[in-house]
Amino acid sequence: MTRIVAIVLHPGFQLLDAAGPTTAFEIAERFRPGSYTLRLLAPGGGQVESSARVALSTTPLRHRLLDTIIVSGGEIVRSAAAAAEIVTWLKRAKARRIASVCSGAFLLAEAGRLDGRRATTHWGSTDHFRRRYPHVTLEPDRIFVRDGEIWTSAGITAGIDLALALIEDDLGPEVARHTAQQLVVHQRRPGGQSQFAGLVEMGGRTGRFVELIEWMRVHLSEPLTVERLADRAAMSPRHFARAFVEETGTTPAKAVERFRLEHARTGVENSHASLDQIAESAGFGDAGRMRRAFLRTFGLPPQALRRAARG
């Protein structure tokens, strides 16, 4: 069965938003011939220039039979007319699944495709997205989000993660794994929250929480409640929680878990300490709780990551 995958472009699209998924599907096709046919679509068709001024050849948007639609991100505001045409097309488009890469989520949201759903987009656009589309439940700490037949992904390279997940959904984990190996990337990228890592590392948009984050990393084995963190920041718990989300795009609890996962993963892959010892030093308390966090974030238990790291 051949699945027609349409990647929708607009003037100023991000080249990797299109090239990353295209390459992933191309490689998957090598392992399972006849699985995919790729199409590049755009308003009016013809040559469409990317933000890097590299142009790709496209065919016009039409309501043809499509299996998967992937909307690229980039400089959407470069052409309001093209964006409006894509939104109109998306409102009526029929496909087994519809997806977006990076800021392409704005076009899906504008078309009403994300109303009442969970979604993600580039971390730098989360505040604007939340204000503009309050009926969408934004999950900014995710590399990609699947909500039924709608898939959204984070910034730029996350389009490859998205494509690998779509390939696995179609053809199974073995083909997705071989495709990832050819691309020399992780089949499931370590750390679901890595898309905004830089923002958290800097202590937020203004660097307001730099010292607090450094302190958190040193004290991971201790209880790090919102109340304790707020006290350390000399703020009320409610004010602190709100300010932390505004600065970093994530909650204090999710940031703490991410730091604990980073610490634990390093221990799992690079040390000979027992899983109980690693769990205690990372602040998980016990190996069972750490295992559940690994499965939720990495999709694999600690033992599997340790085996993979050791060849």
The pLDDT of residue 193 is 45
Question: Are residues 13 and 83 in contact, defined by beta-carbon separation less than 8 angstroms?
Answer: no
Question: What is the per-residue pLDDT across 116-134, written as a single tens digit (0 to 9) for each?
Answer: 999 999 888 888 999 999 9
Residues 233-247: tens digit of each pLDDT:
999 999 999 999 888
**Token pair of 75, please?**
């400089």
Residue 173 burial (C-beta neighbours within 10 Å; 0-12, 13-18, 19+)? middle
pLDDT of residue 202: 56
Domain 3-183 has CATH 3.40.50.880: yes
* Distance, CA of 184 to CA of 258 (rounded, Å): 24
Q: What's the pLDDT band for 191 if we cut at 50, 70, 90?
A: very low
First to last CA, the chain: 35
Which of 34-38, 77-81, 122-126, 191-195 bottoms out in mean pLDDT, i.e. has the lowest?
191-195
Bridge partners for 41 per DSSP: 8, 59
Q: Is the pLDDT assigned to residue 270 strictly greater than 50? A: yes
Q: State percent of the chain over pLDDT 70.
A: 93
- Dihedrals φ, ψ of 94, to 5°? -120, 125
Taking the model in full, what pTM does it have?
0.70
Distance CA 257, CA 244 (A): 15
Which tens digits make up the pLDDT trace of 153-165?
988 889 999 999 9
At 111 the pLDDT is 98
Q: Tokens representing 171?
A: 């053809």
Q: Do residues 36 and 100 lie in contact, with contact meaning Cβ atoms separated by under 8 Å?
A: no
pLDDT at 199: 56
The values of phi and psi at residue 68, to 5°, are: -135, 135
Summarised one tens digit per residue, pLDDT across range 27-41 is 999 999 999 999 999
Tell me the CATH number of domain 194-309, given options 3.40.50.170, 1.10.8.80, 1.10.1740.10, 1.10.10.60: 1.10.10.60
Is the pLDDT assigned to residue 190 strictly greater than 60? no
Rounded-to-integer distance, Cα 304 and Cα 269, Å: 10
Q: Give the model's confidence band at 151: pLDDT under 50 very low, under 70 low, under 90 confident, else very high.
A: very high
Domain ranges, ordered by start, for the chain: 3-183, 194-309
**Residues with catalytic annotation?**
102
